[in-house]
Amino acid sequence: MRLPPVRSWKSPSPTTTRLRASFLRPFKRPRWITCSVPAALVLLAAAPGQAADGAATTAPAGSAIQPRADVIDPGNLVLFSVELDQLTLTDGLAAYGDPTDPYLPVGELTRLLEMDVDVLPAEGRVIGRVGEARRSLIIDLKTGTAREGARAEALSTDDIAVTPTEVYLRASAATRLLPMKFEISVEALSIKIIAQEPLPIQSRRERMARLRNLGTDPQAGAAESLVVDPPYRAASLPAFDVQLATGVQTEDPQTPFRYDVRAAADLAYGNFQGYLGSDETGRPSSARVLFERRSLQGGLLGPLKARVVSIGDVYTPALSLGPRAVGGRGFSLSTVPLDETNIFNRIDLRGELPIGYDVELYINDVLRSGQNTPAKGRYEFLNVPLAPGVNVIRIVTYGPRGERSEQTRIINVGGGLLPRGRATFELGAVEQDREVFTFDGLGSAPSTLERAGGFRAVAAVNYGLTSFLTLSGGAALVPIDEEKYRAAYNVGLRTSLLGFSTQVDLAADDRGRTGAFIGLAGQVSGASIVLRHAEFRRGFLDENGPGFDRSRPTRQRTELSVDASVELTGRIIPISARAARYAYADGTLNYLGSLRASTSVANVLVSSGFEYERTDGRASTYERLTGYVAASTFRDYAWQLRAALDYDILPELTARSLAITADRDITDTWAVRLGVGQPLDDLEGTNFTVSSIHRLRMGDLALSGDYNNRDNSWSLGAQLSFGLNYNPAAGGYQMTRPGPGSGGSVLFHAFLDENANGVFDPGEEPVKDVTLEGGLTRVKTGPDGRAFVSGIGAGPTARLLVGLDQLENPSVSTPPTTLDLRPRPGSTMEIAYPMQPTGDVMVRLILRRPDGDPVGLAAARLVLIGEKGRTYEAGTEFDGTAIFSGVPVGRYRVELEPEQARRLRMRLAAPLTAVVKNDGGFGTDVQGEVLFEPRPEDVEQTSSTLEDAAA
């Protein structure tokens, strides 16, 4: 619970949770995981508007797309000017191929439009978010996936091309995946963009003017990424995140005080993470510690090739039958890749959740669940099912100061098959439901296990027998009472039958109890279907699945998941359905069902759903049907609006609650939040909330007030959130905005590297106004060329984008503008960003006609060679000119490309030299004459063709 507390009205269902923004807790609502598409959404979907978002049903990995390589050739280059709203964004968009339907550079185009899209040529992938409703965009060549929101598109080999630094799409294919149309004029060599919905750049006319004057996108020169993977250290100074909340209120305690402290640092060549939280009286109530080391490549523990090793408050792995993942004090390790899982497994998602924050879980853009009350300082989404193929997992966090952060993970879900001879291994041992540190009189939360406390150990292994058959096994030791334990064993096979991923498992324990499981997953009529069925005998205890009840063993469980997309009047609605039947040993039958979807209507992301539950017991029957509708939008990229309506259908139709929140940035440092919560079964219980949020350099200060008119209760509160991080450049600690203690940080240093040695030497100038995006906020370097970025997160990877559009002199050569990070909580990655002054060199090649008049020589390839051997290449245009852009300061030789010169027997009449000065302009304009040596008869035609082209 955060401060100041506000009223809440409990739902009659124990399976509900509240949706509200920070400092607004007017009611509880059904878990998002139980929701789906009611008739209201269908009516909304029939309205005209932009095609739907939401999450597409993820198809199983299909045939890989083999991109074209031959079309990206200088001979096919076409330079287009690009216009949007009668403003010129660039005069030189480099496209290729047929001018009526050219290949367009996705990275350069989306950067010009300021869209949230990452282009990863090395991985054959494009990912991002588009539109005010932030629909997902993903192109994955390896799995044959191309999807915008809920709409899957089929891309052919002729639609896409890839170079080491860019991904190209035909214009006709790009219009199917991006919210825009193109009007291409071949005569004028221009492309007019017609936005189908507001684009980010349209809300910032000032930057559009800068781009028009600049004439190019300054970030387009380096699409590859710079990998930053700092080594673990023996010890580092810790970083902290601190939240202090206090206030006055009419309820007890009348002067509450609460704190959350998170700390992290490198220690013993691993990473330490700690958490300490209090109750509303300021007494410590919960704590966590964790020592962890990760390796994406699997370089831990020698021949084991472990990827994660953890000691402290950890979680054990789960088996397909029997034990589930359970937390406690102990250790765990895993060799399983961090971005892969089995379709028949459910995953658990956990992360830090500070005081006053809400978190929502989206799977393939369908809202699955939400939480607003931290459990020991973090959120937990347990037993989350995924669909076959590529799954886009988004965890969206809403803060009490109106901030919105988003973490995205892409998990490739397959049938659990491993290549032949490859093995994966997981092991965990804990004292279950016990933290390393506990506090007298508080203890742990009530356990759902057979016994709270006691030693639990679980091990699981998978081995690829062939490319189509994988063997799996597992063993576990689980406590029953103070002295007794039960041992459980699993063995199974993973394979593919008739195009369906298939899994078969058998389980038994040391008391003669048995279980069996079969699972099928695949595509049927365009829908992704996953079927699971398990049988248990003699009271075998299976902890997996939402139907587990330790007081009564499960006899049968059957689960069916269907993910599909339905098209209504041109709008695609992704639908996710779940149905389950649980039969218990005491004769009770439990039925669960849910139907949910998300789509965009007039740039508003609308989510809706149903949840059904029925229990047939020996003496009575219980039945309930609930629903919800939720909407959110970032209107005009200024107002962040959210609303939710909850209602009951069975046992009687009743509207239950309504909540609305609105956040608006008044200035860069001041924001306001307004909220109202109305329980519809108690119209006198309206709850009002208003907050004033001040973003300071040393943290965030939120002042809030809350009033409920049912009992005239009120509260006034203040919350201060800040970070403490050691700044190596300053040689001491500094206060920052929150983030250093729960995620990685970056100390970025941009400077002009005059001698090209990559080191900031005396006399070299720092570079200000270099922007960095990807943390909690957008930051830029100061007069000293440095910028500190927190809130990078603690995932396996993170990404920062370097922006150069605000530089006074953009004529610089830089490292890649995409920083591919490997963050750790409490770690500060020092990134030196040397920038070399550059200029442009224009070279013109001529031929002499018989009458002595010079003419330009087209289609000749030139090489610029620096004093240190670095080379640059360019080709001459129709007038014989070639422009070398972004060339570092220095002296260069100009030579003909050796292979073409040898084949056509060309040579320069005299040596050519170009000089680039540090003035941001063109270097020396160079003109050279080309001579053709006498040629053998069989190549005379080639020579004359080139000379005719020049004429």
Q: Which pLDDT does position 399 carry in this prediction?
A: 66
Which DSSP string do the residues of 899-945 spell out, in sequence order?
Answer: HHHHHHTEEESS-EEEEE-TTSSB---EEEEEEE----GGGHHHHHH
Q: Which of 877, 862, 951 is nearest to 914 (CA)?
A: 862
Note the pTM of the prediction, 2 decimals.
0.67
| From 383-392, 415-424, 742-751, 864-873, the region with the lowest mean pLDDT | 383-392
The C-alpha atoms of residue 209 and residue 26 are separated, in whole angstroms, by 45
Tell me if 84 sits within 8 A of 195, measured CB to CB. Answer: yes
Instruction: Supply the pLDDT for residue 451.
Output: 56
Select the more confidently predicted residue: 391 or 144.
Answer: 144
Helix (H, G, I), strand (E, B) or coil at 596: strand
Owner of token pair 């099928």: 520
Q: What are the pLDDT digits (tens) for 626-681?
A: 999 999 887 766 788 889 999 999 999 999 999 999 988 888 788 888 999 999 88
Q: Which of 556, 561, 554 is nearest to 534 (CA)?
A: 556
Section 827-836 average pLDDT? 91
pLDDT at 154: 86
**CATH code (residue 912):** 2.60.40.10
Query: Which H/E stretch holds residue 393?
Result: strand 389-398
Q: Is the pLDDT of residue 506 over 90?
A: yes
Question: What confidence score (pLDDT) does residue 636 get?
Answer: 67
Please write the tens of the pLDDT for every residue from 56-98: 333 344 577 888 767 888 778 888 888 888 888 777 788 888 8
State percent of the chain over pLDDT 90: 32
Residue identified by tokens 């979807």 is 597
Helix (H) or strand (E) holding 109: helix 106-112
Tokens encoding 342: 């089995």
Say if 112 falls within a structural domain. yes
Q: What is the pLDDT of residues 753-793, one digit of tens each?
A: 887 788 899 988 999 999 998 776 788 899 999 998 887 87
| Strand partners for 406 | 396
Give 389's pLDDT tier (boundaries 50, 70, 90): low
470 within domain boundaries: no
Over residues 839-871, the pLDDT tens digits come to 888 999 988 866 778 877 766 789 999 887 888
Would you place residue 374 in the very low, low, confident or very high pLDDT band (cuts 50, 70, 90)? Answer: low
Joined together, the tokens standing for residue 475 give 């063993």
Q: Which of 176, 199, 218 is the last residue of a domain?
A: 218
Burial of residue 237 (number of CB atoms within 10 Å: 0-12, 13-18, 19+):
middle
Q: What is the pLDDT of residues 794-817, one digit of tens each?
A: 878 888 889 888 887 777 888 888
State residue 921's pLDDT score: 53
DSSP labels, 169-232: EEHHHHHHHSSEEEEEETTTTEEEEEESS--GGGG-HHHHHHHHHH-S-TTTT--SEEEE-PPP
Q: How many CA atoms lie within 13 A of 320 on its CB side?
A: 30
Torsion, Cα of 680, 685, 686, 688 (10° steps): -140
Which residue segment(s) compose the domain that 871 sits in? 839-950
Question: Which of residues 442 and 825 earns the better pLDDT score?
Answer: 825
Q: Check if the beta carbon of residue 642 is closer than 8 Å to that of residue 660.
A: yes
401 compared with 54, residue with greater pLDDT: 401
Strand 225-228 versus strand 818-821 pairing type: parallel
Whether 573 is covered by a domain: the verdict is no
Residue 634 host element (H or E)? strand 621-635
pLDDT average, residue stretch 408-427: 80
Rounded CA gap, 113 and 134, in Å?
15
pLDDT at 436: 92
Q: What percentage of the chain carries pLDDT values higher than 70?
A: 81
Residue 249 phi, psi (nearest 5): -160, 165
Domains in the chain, number: 2
> Of 195, 218, 241, which residue is a domain's last?
218
Domain boundary among 218, 235, 252: 218
Instruction: Tell me what the mean pLDDT of segment 348-361 comes to.
Output: 74
Mean pLDDT to the nearest integer, 887-913: 85
Give me the pLDDT at residue 118, please. 78
* 906-928 CB burial, b ≥16 within 10 A, e <16: bebeeebebebebeeebbbebeb
- Examine the pLDDT at 403 and tell me if it is beyond 80: no
Instruction: Assess whether pLDDT exceeds 90 at residue 333.
Output: yes
Backbone angles phi, psi at 924, to 5 degrees: -60, 125
Segment among 10-14, 253-257, 388-392, 559-563 with least mean pLDDT = 10-14
Mean of all residue pLDDT scores within the chain: 80
Answer yes or no: is 776 within a domain: no
Can you tell me which residue has the tokens 């440095």? 786
Within a 13 Å sphere around the CA of 247, how many CA atoms are in the beta-carbon half? 24
Q: What is the pLDDT of residues 113-138, one digit of tens each?
A: 878 787 788 788 888 888 877 788 88
346: in domain: no
Query: Does any domain span residue 488?
Result: no
Phi, psi dihedral angles at 565 (to 5 degrees): -120, 130
What is the per-residue pLDDT across 904-941, written as a single tens digit (0 to 9) for each?
A: 678 999 999 988 876 655 556 889 998 877 645 434 44
Q: Which two tokens stand for residue 331?
A: 């250790």
CA distances from 461 to 317, 471, 493 (A): 11, 8, 12
Helix (H) or strand (E) holding 423: strand 423-432
Please choose, from the candidates 579, 567, 581, 507, the residue with its C-alpha nearest in 3D space to the C-alpha of residue 539.
507
Whether 939 is in a domain gets the answer yes
Q: Does the pLDDT value for residue 613 go beyond 90?
A: yes
CA-to-CA separations, 505 to 496, 517, 519, 535, in angstroms, rounded: 15, 5, 9, 11
- Is the confidence at residue 533, as pLDDT, over 60? yes
Coil/strand/helix, residue 616: strand
**Would residue 412 count as lying in a domain?**
no
